[in-house]
Amino acid sequence: MKRTSSFPLWFSIVLYWLITLALLGTAITRAGGHFGYPVDDTYIHMAIAKHLVNNGHWGLSAGAFSSSTSSPLWTFLIALDYRWLGVNDWAPLMLNLICGSLVVFVCYSFLKTKLRPLTLLLVLLLVVLFVPLPVLTLSGMEHTLHGLLTLCLVYGATALLSVKEPSRGQIALVLASSALVPITRYEGLFLILTLALLLMSSRRFSLAILVGAAGILPVLAYGLLSLSKGWYLLPNSVLLKGNMPTASMKGAVEFLSHLPDNLASVPHLLMILVACLFVHLWRTQDERSRRRSRTLILAFLTTALLHMQFAATGWFYRYEAYLVLLGLVILGEELGLALAHLEGRAVGVARIDVVLGATLAILMAIPLGVRAGKALRDYPLAVGNIYEQQYQMGMFVKSHYDGKGVAANDIGAISYLSDASVLDLFGLGTMDVAEAKREGWFDERMVSEWVRSHSVEIVMIYSSWFEGNIPDEWTEVGRWRIANNVACAADTVSFYAPTKLQLQDTIDSLRAYSPLLPATITQSGLYIRP
């Protein structure tokens, strides 16, 4: 039965925009009138896009290639904006507002013929509030686009499996989504694998091969470009932040044993998984409807388990957000159809089902609500954190070390705001460091050699990350400490002069920039002493 009311769509989009703009205003106030993002990774995209437009090089530093982004498509879209409108801070937010609005529209389009208007409105509100879509939008990262493409791919593939002769439009949607999902987030390869297996199990071998090829080819093309420049097949961020087993039986066993702990760390996602399975078994449905539901749930369940095993979660509510979105939409559809079936059942049985459904909804809503509440609360604080730490580091480098060699372990804002030659001691932007970390020979001697060979004039790091690996010839000149930290990996950045010859210059530079720092930053060290 077709439902044509558009009220759920427009109400949800308006609410999404209002919450997003309200949070943005709060964050700007928290950062002293400065607009910014709650994670430094956003500035990595912006730095690469800036250098691509200004210098024709895909990298964190002008004139040098680096495979430092796990979302080449998102970086490219920002570069297109810069090409048309010039380099600006607002591009990631504007792209996200478009993608976020499209997420709500796509959810509405997929569900409007299956759910009653009130149920549909509830599902859309859950998407806006529980993903939570406004915080993803304001992060400036690629996660709204990833969620949008994931929905298109899963529901498009499900439509293919439900008909014997799919139309060209259906096939085109699935293949286009298959090509774009992995190059938006490499976790999309989990979904490609899952859907290819589902297509093969239904004897759609040609479609399975096409979906697999469409998903792999863009990733392979970018990987071959990286290899030709002396980098890895996969981006450094994927290799350094992902979970991969060691090449031994013991390593494989330990790797597999982490899955229960990984699931326990994301109770909101675990509850959606359990709820989807429960509702699928609970509701009465015809064979065609059961087959469709089974396909959706299997796609969600398998992709989620692969993500939990091989990829990271958390980090400002981002990494598993596409799974929360997909799970909420699938569960909303299942619950809506289950409630519709209650109308034809006996009163007593219907009441029992309502009680069971309400209990399930409450249990599911608790971890999702807690997570969403923390995200909405933490976002303004996070913007303030990045403004007080990474943004200030970037402006400091721009003021005193522009065009010179600097070393750091958070390199997004530094690379975007300045034209310094940045040595990334974490490894996202420097290949030598990434190789050393992956092969287990990262040590004090190598750190000293890298700093010397890159002509580094100042080092800015979290000292706690380098215990035992800080060279003896370095002199700690000062520290900046932020309060109420929810976004930065550490609350204190230490500044080092790499040699005695650079000690006085480092002190003078920090003293000169000191009056420009927000009053909320606690400064200490040699440079503030008489």
The DSSP secondary structure of 450-465, one letter per residue, reads HHHHTTEEEEEE-GGG
Q: 150-164, 228-242, 260-274, 512-526 — which is least confidently predicted? A: 260-274
CA separation, residue 31 to residues 24, 36, 323, 344, 430 (Å): 11, 8, 31, 56, 31
CA atoms within 13 A on the CB side of 348: 0
- Distance of alpha carbon 253 from its chain centroid, rounded? 28
pLDDT for the residue 288: 65
Per DSSP, helices labelled H in 229-342 are 236-241, 249-257, 259-264, 267-282, 287-310, 321-341
- The predicted structure's pLDDT at residue 506: 96
Q: Domain residues of the chain, as ranges?
A: 382-528
C-alpha to C-alpha distance for 400 and 516, rounded to whole angstroms: 13
Banded pLDDT at 341 (limits 50, 70, 90): low
In the predicted structure, residue 3 carries a pLDDT above the cut 50:
no
Q: What is the mean pLDDT of residues 131-150?
A: 96
Query: Which DSSP letter does residue 483 get?
Result: S
List, for residues 439-485, the tens digit of each pLDDT value.
888 899 999 999 999 999 999 999 999 988 999 999 999 999 999 99
Rounded Cα gap, residues 322 and 337, in angstroms? 23
Which residue in the block uniquely carries the two structure tokens 């990286």? 226
pTM: 0.92
Concatenate the DSSP letters of all residues of 98-158 into one string: HHHHHHHHHHHHHHTTTS-HHHHHHHHHHHHHHTTHHHHHHHTSTHHHHHHHHHHHHHHHH
pLDDT score for 248: 52
- Do the beta carbons of residue 88 and residue 140 sit within 8 Å? no
Rounded to an integer, what distance in angstroms lies between the CA atom of residue 275 and that of residue 364? 7
Give the span between the Cα atoms of 489 and 251, in whole angstroms. Answer: 27
N residues, the chain: 530
Confidence category of residue 272, pLDDT binned at 50, 70, 90: confident
In this prediction, residue 273 has a pLDDT band, given cuts at 50, 70 and 90, of confident
pLDDT digits (tens, 9 = 90+) for 394-425: 999 999 999 999 999 999 999 999 999 999 99
Average pLDDT along the chain? 88
End-to-end CA separation in angstroms for the chain: 79
Q: Cis (ω within 30 of 0) for the bond into 132?
A: yes
SS3 at position 481: strand
Model confidence at 343: pLDDT above 80:
no
Residue 133 is which amino acid?
L
Does the pLDDT value for residue 217 go beyond 80?
yes
**382-528 has CATH 3.90.380 classification:** no
Q: How many whole angstroms separate alpha carbon 36 and alpha carbon 386? A: 8
Please give the Cα distance from 160 to 157 (Å, whole number): 5
Q: In the prediction, which pLDDT does 250 show?
A: 54
CB 496 within 8 A of CB 510: no
Residue with tokens 């989807």: 276
Q: How many helices (H) and strands (E) does the chain have?
A: 22, 6
